[in-house]
Chain A
Amino acid sequence: MKVKTKVGGLLLLMMVLILAACNGNSEPEAEGSEQGSGGEVKTGGTLEVAYPTQPQTLDPHGTTAEATRDAAKVIYEGLVTINENYEVIPQLADSFEVSDDNKNVTFKLREGVLFHNGKEMTSADVIASMQKWAKSKPELGEHEWVAADDYTVELKLSQPSSLIMYFLADVGNLAAIMPKEVAESAEATGAKEYIGTGPFQFVEWKQDEVIQFKKFEDYVPDEDATDGLGGKKEAFVDAINWRFVPDASTRVNGLMSGQYHFAHMLSYDSIPQVESNPQVEVDVWPYGIEGLVFNKKEGLFTDVKARQAVNSALDMEVIMSSAFTGEDYYNLDPSLFLESQTDWYTDAGKENYNQKDVDKAKQLLEEAGYNGEEIIILTSRDYEHHYNAAVATQQQLEEIGMNVKLDVYDWPTLLERRNDPGAYHMFYTGFSTTFTPHQFVFLDSGTAWPGWTNNAEIDRLLDEINVAASQDEAKELYAQLQQVMWEDLPVINTGTNSRVSGYSKDLKGYTNLSGPNFWNVSINQ
Chain B
Amino acid sequence: MKAYILKRLLSMIPVLLIVAIFVFFLIHMIPGDPAAVMLGPEATPEEVESLKEELGLNLPIYQQFFEWSLHALQGDLGNSLYMNQPVLDAFTSHLGPTLSLALLAQGVSIFLAIPIGVLAARKRGTGIDRTFMIIAMLGMSIPSFLLALLLMLVFGVQLNWLPVAGYTSLSEGLWEHLKYLILPAISLGTIQAAVIARMTRSSMIDILSMNFIKTAKAKGLKQKVVIYKHAFRNALIPILTILGETFGALITGAVVTETVFNLPGIGQLVINAITRRDYAVIQGTILLIAVTYLFLNLIIDLLYGLVDPRVRLNRK
Chain B residues with CB below 8 A from A18, complex form? 150, 154
A253 contact from B45, B90, B165, B268, Cβ within 8 A = B165
Establish whether residues A207 and B93, one from each chain, have CB atoms under 8 Å apart when the complex forms.
yes
Asked if B275 CB lies within 8 Å of chain A CBs, one says yes
Establish whether residues A259 and B31, one from each chain, have CB atoms under 8 Å apart when the complex forms.
no
Establish whether residues B150 and A21, one from each chain, have CB atoms under 8 Å apart when the complex forms.
yes
Establish whether residues A188 and B51, one from each chain, have CB atoms under 8 Å apart when the complex forms.
yes
By beta carbon, the residue of chain A nearest B163 is A259
Chain A residues with CB below 8 A from B156, complex form? 253-254, 257, 259
- Contacts of A372-427 to chain B: CB distance below 8 A: 382, 409-413, 415-417, 419
Asked if A43 CB lies within 8 Å of chain B CBs, one says no
B154 contact from A20, A63, A409, Cβ within 8 A = A20
Asked if A85 CB lies within 8 Å of chain B CBs, one says no
A64 with B43: in contact, given A208-B272, A245-B165, A250-B165 (CB under 8 Å)?
Answer: yes
B45 contact from A189, A258, A259, A419, Cβ within 8 A = A419
Chain B residues with CB below 8 A from A466, complex form? none
Number of B residues contacting the other chain (C-beta, 8 Å)?
57
Main SS of chain A's interface residues?
Answer: mixed
Establish whether residues B38 and A253, one from each chain, have CB atoms under 8 Å apart when the complex forms.
no
Chain A residues with CB below 8 A from B51, complex form? 188
Establish whether residues A21 and B160, one from each chain, have CB atoms under 8 Å apart when the complex forms.
no
Chain A residues with CB below 8 A from B30, complex form? 413
By beta carbon, the residue of chain A nearest B261 is A250
Chain A residues with CB below 8 A from B84, complex form? 56-57, 189-190
Establish whether residues A21 and B154, one from each chain, have CB atoms under 8 Å apart when the complex forms.
yes
Establish whether residues A256 and B275, one from each chain, have CB atoms under 8 Å apart when the complex forms.
no
Establish whether residues A410 and B32, one from each chain, have CB atoms under 8 Å apart when the complex forms.
yes
Asked if A247 CB lies within 8 Å of chain B CBs, one says yes
Chain A residues with CB below 8 A from B41, complex form? 415, 429-430
Chain B residues with CB below 8 A from A249, complex form? 149, 260
Question: A180-210: contact bitstring with B at CB < 8 Å (1 yes, 0 no)?
Answer: 0000000011100000000000000011110
Asked if B226 CB lies within 8 Å of chain A CBs, one says no
- Contacts of B11-46 to chain A: CB distance below 8 A: 30-33, 36-46
Chain A residues with CB below 8 A from B131, complex form? 7
In the complex, how many angstroms separate the beta carbon of B53 from the nearest chain A beta carbon? 9
Number of A residues contacting the other chain (C-beta, 8 Å)?
57
Chain A residues with CB below 8 A from B276, complex form? 56, 412
- Contacts of B244-269 to chain A: CB distance below 8 A: 259-262, 264, 268-269
A209 with B33: in contact, given A21-B153, A257-B157 (CB under 8 Å)?
Answer: no
In the complex, how many angstroms separate the beta carbon of B293 from the nearest chain A beta carbon? 22
Chain A residues with CB below 8 A from B268, complex form? 208, 246
Asked if B177 CB lies within 8 Å of chain A CBs, one says no
Question: B140-167: contact bitstring with A at CB < 8 Å (1 yes, 0 no)?
Answer: 0000000001101111111110011111
Chain A residues with CB below 8 A from B170, complex form? none
Question: A224-258: contact bitstring with B at CB < 8 Å (1 yes, 0 no)?
Answer: 00000000000000000001111101100110111
Chain B residues with CB below 8 A from A65, complex form? 38-40
Asked if A159 CB lies within 8 Å of chain B CBs, one says no
By beta carbon, the residue of chain A nearest B33 is A416
CA distance A203 to B269 in the complex (A): 22
Asked if A148 CB lies within 8 Å of chain B CBs, one says no
Chain B residues with CB below 8 A from A436, complex form? none
Chain A residues with CB below 8 A from B216, complex form? none
CA distance A305 to B90 in the complex (A): 52
Establish whether residues A64 and B154, one from each chain, have CB atoms under 8 Å apart when the complex forms.
no
B94 contact from A208, A250, A432, A447, Cβ within 8 A = A208
Asked if B193 CB lies within 8 Å of chain A CBs, one says no
Establish whether residues A17 and B269, one from each chain, have CB atoms under 8 Å apart when the complex forms.
no
Chain B residues with CB below 8 A from A448, complex form? 44-46
Establish whether residues A412 and B85, one from each chain, have CB atoms under 8 Å apart when the complex forms.
no
Chain A residues with CB below 8 A from B295, complex form? none
CA distance A18 to B147 in the complex (A): 11
Asked if A117 CB lies within 8 Å of chain B CBs, one says no
- Contacts of A425-440 to chain B: CB distance below 8 A: 429-432
Chain B residues with CB below 8 A from A206, complex form? 93, 264
B159 contact from A7, A20, A190, A259, Cβ within 8 A = A20
Interface centre among A208, A410, A449 (most CB of B within 10 A): A208
A415 contact from B37, B82, B153, B264, Cβ within 8 A = B37
CA distance A64 to B37 in the complex (A): 11
Chain B residues with CB below 8 A from A431, complex form? 42
CA distance A63 to B36 in the complex (A): 10
Asked if A524 CB lies within 8 Å of chain B CBs, one says no
Interface centre among B33, B44, B85, B167 (most CB of A within 10 A): B44
In the complex, how many angstroms separate the beta carbon of B85 from the nearest chain A beta carbon? 7
Asked if A3 CB lies within 8 Å of chain B CBs, one says yes
12 residue pairs bridging A and B, Cβ less than 8 Å apart: A56-B276, A207-B83, A209-B264, A246-B272, A382-B275, A412-B37, A413-B30, A413-B32, A416-B31, A417-B31, A430-B41, A449-B42
Q: What 16 additional pairs, Cβ within 8 angstroms, besides A18-B154, A416-B36?
A: A21-B150, A21-B153, A189-B55, A207-B90, A245-B262, A249-B149, A250-B259, A250-B262, A254-B164, A256-B157, A412-B31, A412-B276, A416-B31, A448-B45, A448-B46, A449-B45
Leading 5 A-B pairs by shortest Cβ distance: A412-B32, A188-B54, A65-B40, A416-B31, A209-B264
- A interface residues (Cβ-Cβ under 8 A, vs B): 3-4, 7, 17-18, 20-21, 23, 29, 54, 56-57, 62-66, 136, 188-190, 206-209, 243-247, 249-250, 253-254, 256-259, 382, 409-413, 415-417, 419, 429-432, 441, 447-450
- B interface residues (Cβ-Cβ under 8 A, vs A): 30-33, 36-47, 51, 54-55, 81-85, 90, 93-94, 119, 128, 131, 149-150, 152-160, 163-167, 259-262, 264, 268-269, 272, 275-277
